[in-house]
Structure 1
Amino acid sequence: MLSPLLIPILGICCGLLAIFGGVFVRPWFAYRHRRMELDAQMIAEKSAQYAAHTDRLEQRVRVLERIVTDRGIELSNEIDLLRDTGPATERLAN
């Protein structure tokens, strides 16, 4: 059977394991949990930035599509007028 000396040794070992778990393992798990929360927050912020950037790009493409499809001849006339008058900076210099 079990030696009478084995029971106190097992009790001391269980106590040491509990202390080790409380001192080292639990803070490590808390650190890993906090790190994962921060990483998730950073990923969510980047995702929101990408979504906003994509929305701006989609709006610009819509405007360009509308310009190209709605105003073919008018657009070429406006471009010609801009070429004739020159950039606004040249007009301000004169």
Structure 2
Amino acid sequence: MTDATDSQPGLDPDRASFTTALNTARDQIVHAAGIIADTVIDLVGVIGDHVLANLLPERRLRTKTRMIKRSNSKYQARGPNIDRRSYKATTSIDIICPDP
């Protein structure tokens, strides 16, 4: 796909369709292209021609910068005014040994 888009100057590689390249490669395998020793078939050229014939539309311009969405905290459901950093943790370990 990259070789095909690099063959045309100024063509954005994002416009190449992976689905088109995959389907073309699959079709070449199904038709057993290149199996017969007497014929010479350029598989990369065939795939590249199909990719260039079926380019995706140009990407639209972004009007806003990318932002990371903040996840909703499950702790906000109990109330935002509780300070959870000051909780006193109680830990205990009980070791049970079997009788000899």
Structure 1 or 2, whichever has the larger Rg, is 1
TM-score norm. by structure 1 comes to 0.24
Higher relative contact order (CA 8 A, sep 6+): 2
TM-score norm. by structure 2 comes to 0.23
Higher helix share goes to which structure? 1
